[in-house]
Chain A
Amino acid sequence: MQIVVCIKQVPDTTKVKINPETNTLMREGVESIINPFDLYAIEEAVRLKEAHGGVVKVVTMGPPQAGSALREAIALGADEAVLVSDRAFAGADTWVTAYTLAAAIRTLGQVDLILCGKQAIDGDTAQVGPSLADQLNIPFVAFVRKVREVADGSMVVERMFEEGYEVVRLPIPGLMTVVKEINEPRLPSLKGKMRAKKAEIFTIDRSALDVEDAFLGLDGSPTRVVKIFSPELKKAGEKWEEDPGEMAAKLVANLRDQKII
């Protein structure tokens, strides 16, 4: 099975604080790590390879420093590393990231399965995985908590909900995003670390991709981050227990007062 795992290098948010004056992340001196949810995707890919054979390629879009995340993925059992990197890609939002990644993955030859973490802990959007499947025009299942079986041309997986799960057949080639319930990632191995040190990182830049400049980077991004802030905790609400008609009138009056309607 040819497996691609998309990973992202993120600041270790357990150590990041938000600057209360500027409302921006204070990233200085904070260690970069593989997005924790992506570790589950790497582990699942390596397990699928161990059970069914094949090759695991890790792909990340990011600056050259993101190469260290790729090496770490190799120490965890991935076989090949692909860095999608170019100044032109900088500042991409989720749609442009998926667009660029899709173009990069198309250059990698046969791909049977793409694995992503359910979301990145810095942006928390959970959009890139599904959007990537859409760009590649392949089916996807999000929030997979278990791979039940792998057969020719499809696999059966469990998609997690808050209460319970759903059993879904995913045709191959396909994409899934995984939750942390799916496995327990292994620690790196010594041989893996040595392989990682020597591993060649295959870099894909703008010139290698069949893409339109208008859809790249910050300028190509249809969305903008306007502000990052810690949401205020919800205040306790008011609770009324009266005649429904009276309550409706009271609610409307209240909403008018607050100029909501």
Chain B
Amino acid sequence: MDYFLTEEQQEIREIARQIAEEKIVPVREELDEKEEFPAEIMNVCAQSDLFAVPIPEEYGGLGGGVMEMSLAVEELSKACLGVSVTYAATFLGSYPILLFGSDDQKAKYLPDIATGEKLGAFGLTEANAGSDAGGIRTTAVKDGDSYILNGTKQWITNGGEAEIYTVIALTDRSRGPRGASAFIVEKDTPGFSFGKKEKKMGIRASATRELVFEDCRIPAENLISKEGMGFMVAMKTLDMSRPGIAAQGVGIAQGALDVAVNYARERRQFGQPIIGFQAVQHMLADMATKTEAARALTYAVARYIDSDAKEVSKVSAMTKLFGADVAMEVTTNAVQVLGGYGYMREYPVEKMMRDAKILQIYEGTNQIQRNVIGAALIKEYAQKKS
């Protein structure tokens, strides 16, 4: 399919594809096996300016939008989701600054993101606050011209590896979710430490850690926007980043489809290549159709968001929901097409199936995406009637 990409978009895709094929595919199995952080690949992404893609030009970026970011994420995801989430989580951590940061905050932090010198991370989830993010307990208490943070964030992608963290904490416990605020915390701030690296089912190249704040004092100027805006910042950030998760789904589904079709052409049973069996063909046909549909939806929504559309929560949630479900289904069926070989670690689809599962969980579970879409429908249709 031709999605009429601009020349610049084609170049982004081309370079990300080259990195995926030449730098990621040869090492992905080892990174997964050893649960090794892909520092070297991040350096290659940095050197090729991939981190500059969605950062405005005035901060050393290329001025791209969600569409350009998604194209890069899709290509990296074809090769390895653990690598692509490491890349994408940097923008999850950067969007609060990009969307709500002051000029000073942007000038201080975005240039280092654009060069890839520093990775970013986003800390919202806590042990007792997952889907119900309003239940967070981490606090930020104002003290002169500082805030003092206390609490623990859980399962933070790039935790320990990133230099720049955006963290949601309560500045006013009495106000519940309206009492949350967003802060920038730099690595190596006294009182800020990390828990152990989590052992995961998939995306094992990515680092997931706790962020531990013990009387961690940060300058008051690190408050993003105003006190009480924390959940607004978080929700708008997720609106921007969810198409990136969808792009991860499209990429990994395409990667699995590529393996499955090629395998089915070669593998012979009952005297013929298994792709000759209609049951296999139909499975491949559904995989291809759903992958293309997920891509079309992702690109359409990404472009819509980049047009500065106002209400994007619903469609953004749709991309994430659909892309993640397609990825899970396609990778599972890719294993099926490869049969026992698909279940073995010598073939990449076993890892892809393990990796794909996370897409239905992080950045809001797929149930939560449906809640978002449902809530938007209720609101939309109520407005239509009046």
Contact = CB atoms under 8 A, between A and B. Distances in A.
B141 interface: no
Contacts of B52: 190-191
B53 A190 contact: yes
Nearest to B49: A190
B22 A191 contact: no
A193 B52 CA distance: 13
A189 B49 CA distance: 6
A190 B50 contact: yes
Nearest to B45: A187
Contacts of A187: 15, 18-19, 22-23, 44, 47-48
For chain A, give the interface size range.
under 10
A243 B165 CA distance: 82
A242 to B, nearest CB: 53
A151 to B, nearest CB: 27
Interface in B263-314: none
A191 B22 CA distance: 20
Nearest to B44: A187
A53 interface: no
B212 interface: no
Contacts of A192: 49
B12 interface: yes
A194 B19 CA distance: 18
A12 to B, nearest CB: 15
Majority DSSP secondary structure for residues of B touching A: helix
B9 to A, nearest CB: 11
B220 interface: no
Contacts of B18: 187
Contacts of B44: 186-187
A190 B47 contact: no
A47 B30 CA distance: 29
A187 B50 CA distance: 11
B11 interface: yes
Interface string B127-160: 0000000000000000000000000000000000
Contacts of A193: 11, 15
B372 interface: no
Contacts of A191: 49, 52, 62
A188 interface: yes
Contacts of A188: 15, 48
Interface in A163-196: 186-194
Contacts of B48: 186-190
Interface in B36-58: 44, 47-50, 52-53
A221 B47 CA distance: 43
Contacts of B50: 190
B22 A190 contact: no
Interface string B16-37: 0011001100000000000000
Contacts of B47: 186-187, 189
Nearest to B53: A190
A188 B22 CA distance: 13
A190 B19 contact: no
A188 B17 CA distance: 12
Contacts of B49: 189-192
A190 to B, nearest CB: 4
Most chain B C-beta atoms within 10 Å of own C-beta, residue among A186, A190, A191: A190
B339 to A, nearest CB: 34
Interface in A90-136: none
Contacts of B62: 190-191
Contacts of A194: 8
B310 to A, nearest CB: 30
Nearest to A186: B47
Nearest to B22: A187
Interface in B63-121: none
Most chain B C-beta atoms within 10 Å of own C-beta, residue among A187, A193, A194: A187
B116 to A, nearest CB: 11
A68 to B, nearest CB: 15
B1 to A, nearest CB: 24
A192 B47 CA distance: 10
A82 to B, nearest CB: 24
Contacts of B12: 190
Most chain A C-beta atoms within 10 Å of own C-beta, residue among B11, B19, B23, B50: B11
A194 B23 CA distance: 22
A138 to B, nearest CB: 32
Nearest to A190: B49
Contacts of A186: 44, 47-48
Nearest to A77: B47
Nearest to B12: A190
Nearest to B18: A187
A186 B49 CA distance: 12
A147 B52 CA distance: 31
A17 to B, nearest CB: 24
A226 to B, nearest CB: 39
B130 to A, nearest CB: 36
A189 B62 CA distance: 12
Nearest to B19: A187
Nearest to A192: B49
B322 to A, nearest CB: 29
A190 B19 CA distance: 12
Given A188-B48, A190-B62, 20 more contacts: A186-B47, A187-B15, A187-B18, A187-B23, A187-B44, A187-B47, A187-B48, A188-B15, A189-B48, A189-B49, A190-B11, A190-B49, A190-B50, A190-B52, A190-B53, A191-B49, A191-B52, A192-B49, A193-B11, A193-B15
Which 3 A-B pairs have CB atoms at the shortest separation, nearest pair first? A190-B49, A189-B49, A189-B48
15 contacts: A186-B48, A187-B15, A187-B19, A187-B22, A187-B44, A188-B48, A189-B15, A189-B48, A189-B49, A190-B49, A190-B53, A190-B62, A191-B49, A192-B49, A193-B11
Interface of A: 186-194
